[in-house]
Structure 1
């Protein structure tokens, strides 16, 4: 990989593709990743993604406008075809195309028709996948870059293998830039991903706790307090998503009560017990909704999405501070590696 590391920028083929300074993408987390976060990441030199899964076209249009009012730098929108009713997804994609969003990021099943429609409209396509087979399918369908998600990731988890194994396997087979996702919250993680052939990193948990994130303060604090081993991989939180869609969350009373029965939960068979409210909309226990700034109710029982990297996140800072810290740590890691080489 050709890197320009002057001033710790780590410019490469991914940054050239996206038009950003640093190869750090903030995940398009449904709910937390609204305009304030996406704009802050892009303004700080990373690449911000709006998480607009199952949102109305009107909200998407207003959030895109809000990003543009806050920064002149490029950004993208994250949509999920598999988790969205087809007519709503078509309307979501149409408003993104009509407003000339620079890039679209898609997740879960690879849908070639969606890639073609997006590229025909002149937008860059990022596709997040969890296997070599889907990575190849995304590239063959025309994706400009592929985000490879390991099982360490928070939120909905497509990956079944650890990122240290999956990433180099995918890199060996693809020609487009590959981005690492899952378990990365430090500059050392960035350097490790680059060393394995990635062109950048895609981070969710570390940005969820930032001041600009739309996540509820309770969710942010729980992530900051987490230690290694505090996350749970399960399909308990299934309402609103297709069957067999596992997630990674912080352990809570819901996962504790499930004991060893963490899998085998069908969304249509789970009870509809209201535990919270979001803008007048009821939130059910076992829903995939996470607590947002505007959520009220029993937040402890909700899906507290977090990756294994939550053990590495201990403070609530700005998105710009996250990026600056990761770059500083990356430079320090580079110096340590160089020092080892001089000693050998």
Structure 2
């Protein structure tokens, strides 16, 4: 599918310097240079998912994005889920490489925002409440990403996106991107109607050839039907307590039965079920299977948002961007025509 010749210009596209109001989520593991560069080259805004990665890998991945495209992109880090020393080194690597933008997630880390701004970076902050949105804006964030409970991966939002999004849009002055269950142009059009300036999508881009996710994970998303995901804190090892996730149902969630909540990372057993480049991966861990992962992939955290059932194929990132834009423009025009 060719790139659409039209776009929807918004305060988000203006602030980020991209053509289309579509951000690919900085998914830790799957969102490496191949995916981030493909989305940016297609006119969206790609994010590298460098959560708890080494400064050396971050430097290589930033360089690899630049080798693939001269378009804008960003790097996603999670301060509250990262050792403070490692976080400092990660930030230093991003700043030294001249990364144009940083995206942060989970608790609002005012110092991280201030450091990024001093380094000349644009700052996106993904939040799950109005209070955190205001706090992030006050700290200097240039863009707020509003995450609803429908989102895949780690879920900060506790309320539905359709309720939370307009509240945040009313509460802040900076551009707002909607996140959670959005996989197509209908989702983009709906988000814009609710006050967003664009969207932030993970699941649909995870199921692309450029994603660093394991093919098994991609296939599971494509095969997912309605009600295929579950919201739980069962996958907790390696993250702070009270950090719920949304994943595809698997043998681990099935074994838990009705007890999907109330797990503490320190209380869960350490049972190695897989390996990635020499590192043991635990049952109940927060690692998802990557191209380099071997072992019991079915029992790992298979992150996916509530929109997974509408992801019907593994498509190139550029096609996903183009199709999303074309569908959104057509839907907005049809809606306007029906009112006229």
TM-score between the two structures when normalised by the length of structure 2:
0.98
What's 2:78 paired with?
Answer: 80
What's 1:136 paired with?
Answer: 134
What's 2:102 paired with?
Answer: 104
Bigger relative contact order, structure 1 or 2, given CA contacts below 8 A and separation 6+? Answer: 2
SS at structure 2 position matched to 1:8 = coil
Q: Deviation at 1:336?
A: 1.9
The equivalent position to 1:274 in structure 2, one of 272, 280, 288, is 272
The equivalent position to 2:47 in structure 1, one of 46, 49, 52, is 49
Listed as ranges, the matches of 1:1-344 within 5 Å are: 7-342=5-340
Could you report, residue by residue, the CA deviation over 1:42-70 in whole angstroms, capped at 9, with x for unpaired residues?
A: 00000000000000000000000000000
Give the gaps of 5 or more residues in structure 2: none
Dislocated runs of 4+, deviation >4 Å: none
Could you report, residue by residue, the CA deviation over 1:16-64 in whole angstroms, capped at 9, with x for unpaired residues?
A: 1111100000000000000000000000000000000000000000000
Could you report, residue by residue, the CA deviation over 1:278-310 in whole angstroms, capped at 9, with x for unpaired residues?
A: 001000000000000010000000000000010
Give the gaps of 5 or more residues in structure 1: 1-5
Cα distance in 1 for partners of 2:80, 2:95 equals 19
Could you report, residue by residue, the CA deviation over 1:157-176 in whole angstroms, capped at 9, with x for unpaired residues?
A: 00000000000011111100
Q: Deviation at 1:7?
A: 3.6
SS at structure 2 position matched to 1:93 = helix
Q: Deviation at 1:338?
A: 2.2
Alpha-carbon RMSD:
0.8
Cα distance in 1 for partners of 2:282, 2:111 equals 33
Cα distance in 2 for partners of 1:8, 1:201 equals 17
TM-score between the two structures when normalised by the length of structure 1:
0.97
SS at structure 2 position matched to 1:104 = strand
Cα distance in 2 for partners of 1:12, 1:248 equals 30
Cα distance in 2 for partners of 1:244, 1:207 equals 27
Q: Deviation at 1:126?
A: 0.3
SS at structure 2 position matched to 1:172 = helix
Q: Deviation at 1:335?
A: 2.5
Cα distance in 1 for partners of 2:17, 2:139 equals 22
Cα distance in 1 for partners of 2:58, 2:90 equals 7
